[in-house]
Chains A and B, each alone.
Chain A
Amino acid sequence: MWVIRGLKKGVLTTKFPEEVSEEERKMLRVRMCPDSEKCPLEFCVSCPLGEEREAEVVVRRKIPFSKSIHVFFADVGSCNACNREVEMLNNPYYDFHRLGIFFTPTPRHADVLLVSGYSEEMVKPLEKAYSAMPRPKLVIACGACAVEGLERTNLKADVLIPGCPPSPLLIMKALLLARGDRV
């Protein structure tokens, strides 16, 4: 009966990055402070104090090939919301496998280290995971905590994704940009 259910539901998958619907456009926006120096928090979050604007993914370095990429996800002390959004990439609305992006359960097979959160206790395991990755390798900071937290480690983030948490669509956009795709 699962097959009939699937057929009845039809195709849910987004046409992103070729097309962006109005609902998806909202998911690519984040709240950012107009003046981060006056922010009472330690790090920039998508808080109600901020203004909504188009999220800007910072790309400092790209993967030097545009084939499929394997991602090792490392939660190093997040509130679990980023984890959930990364997990949501698997759902039929996003289905990121269709773009040639895959999760891998070990850093030894990974091209990209996708980091969320920050806890000092996790710095050593994170650095160990990074050293286990083959070259060329890329570090992506996923969300406000990781953007701020990676600054406190020996690893330098190559791609920064804003948002608290960034939406699955924004994470997908960042992964495509890291691969050198035009989005």
Chain B
Amino acid sequence: MISTSVNVESNVSGKTLSAVFDDFIVMIDYSSGEVTVLPSEEAHLVDSRPLYSFLTGKLDELRLYCDRPAFRLHYGPLSSGIWEAGAFEVVSYGERILNVVPLCHYKRLGDGGRELIKVEGKEPEVALMEVERICGTFSASYSTAFTMAVERIAGVEVDSNVKAARIAAVELERIYNHVHAIYRVAVAASQKVAVSHLLALEEDVLRLNFRLFGHRYAFGFNRIGGVRLRDVKALSKLDAIEREFDELVEELSVSKIFIDRLHNTAKLSAEEIAELDAIGIAAKGSGVDRDVRKFSENYPGFKPVVKTDGDSLARILVRVDEVKQSISIIRECEGELRAGGVKNGWDGWNAVEGEAMAFVESPPGDLLMYVKLSGGRVEKFRVRGASAINYLAFARGVEGNIFTDYPFALESFGLSFADAQGLL
């Protein structure tokens, strides 16, 4: 997790495009953690990048127009194989996929989209409840980013046990989402028995979340300046979860059918990662260590898991190692949590004004959140989920593969349309 106040400069060379909002653009240098904010008038510095076209809705620049006869299919929404409200525009001769354009607008926030979620104009404590419902399966990351930004504006330094509780929530979220991604790949490979074991394991982690935070997805756990914790002793379940996970991975890794479907599927090179500004699991699977936890003081000595093959198998192997890494990070926090004294919120935010940005490493990649407070309310709120960036990486990766590879490619990225926020 890193938190930064907003600064402006115009040197973008070697930096990764992180977000394009209506009035500013965010760049990040993943070698130093330095964040650069450009005014939207400086868009010419980045407008040749594919991600810029994707985030600004210039989808025509990403579409392939063939001179040979090819089908243009609209796959989704409400189609078999897509569990969420989202769609893909696929161009194919019949078997090989030539071009994919993800259509993420079905779940966008605001008028004409998900109107029920409104963050701006609300008091921070109320806005927090809306924020954690933008993407429920990554809600601990969303609520942590929001509280960090508000606390940064207020100049409040939270206690170390509050930080430890937030780290535990974000890492538990990573564990059950990574297990879920492996489960989805196993579904695609018809590994029916493994599927049942993996789903049972995910249920175990969700039940652990429920005992620890009072909610299976940690809704209501984060507060501005504090956290709510229930039964810290529930963390003793981690040993059994780790043992079960290790055994399941061992069983799956000897299944040739399973491994063959992932090997060489949706391959992305490190150069393509740089070209597409891809982040998180997509980058780490291709040998590029883009993970904001390495810049965070809350994760001292953190080293991202990296695999170099760039295919679906590499991305799944990154997840396997990250689950183990997350369990050891939670164990390090456990002593701090058991010490008790977790603060239960802070209500001095009424008087604070200002703006701040926060990054949190959510399960598929880093999440960026910008908050501006004025008059005790959220005046401006911008969010860019990791899926908004990595759907483009998936689209590039799956090109050249055949239709039966589609679920193996998609599920290895572990994306969510609800998380694909930040598209104009």
Contacts and interface: CB of A to CB of B under 8 A. Distances in A.
A, B co-complexed: yes
Interface of A: 1-3, 5-6, 9, 12, 23, 26-27, 31, 40-43, 45-48, 73-85, 87-88, 90-93, 105-107, 117-122, 125-126, 129, 145, 148-149, 164-165, 167
A105 B80 contact: yes
Contact of A91 (B122, B137, B202): B202
Contacts of A121: 85, 105-108, 112-113
Contact of A48 (B83, B136, B228): B228
Interface in B75-103: 77-78, 80-81, 83-85
B130 A125 contact: no
B200 A91 contact: yes
Contacts of B115: 42, 118-120
Shortest Cβ-Cβ A-B pairs, 8 listed: A81-B136, A105-B80, A91-B199, A79-B136, A48-B220, A80-B418, A2-B193, A40-B126
A27 B206 CA distance: 12
13 contacts: A41-B130, A45-B133, A46-B215, A48-B228, A74-B78, A75-B84, A77-B106, A77-B114, A79-B137, A81-B219, A93-B203, A125-B85, A165-B136
A84 B137 contact: yes
A70 to B, nearest CB: 13
Given A88-B206, A92-B200, A80 B116 contact: no
Given A41-B129, A75-B84, A88 B199 contact: yes
B196 A92 contact: yes
Contacts of A125: 77-78, 85
A6 B107 CA distance: 39
A119 B113 contact: yes
A106 B190 CA distance: 20
A10 to B, nearest CB: 11
B135 interface: yes
Nearest to B115: A120
A122 B106 contact: yes
Nearest to B122: A40
B247 A5 contact: yes
Contact of B133 (A79, A87, A148): A79
B196 A83 contact: no
Interface string B181-223: 0000000000001111101101100110010000111011000
Nearest to B247: A5
Nearest to B133: A79
A46 B215 CA distance: 9
A118 B217 contact: no
B271 interface: no
Given A42-B118, A84-B136, A121-B106, A75 B85 contact: yes
Interface string B52-87: 000000000000000000000000011011011100
Contact of A117 (B85, B199, B215, B220): B85
B176 to A, nearest CB: 9
Nearest to A79: B136
A78 B200 CA distance: 23
A81 B112 contact: no
B284 interface: no
Contacts of B196: 91-92
Contact of A83 (B83, B105, B134): B83
B41 interface: no
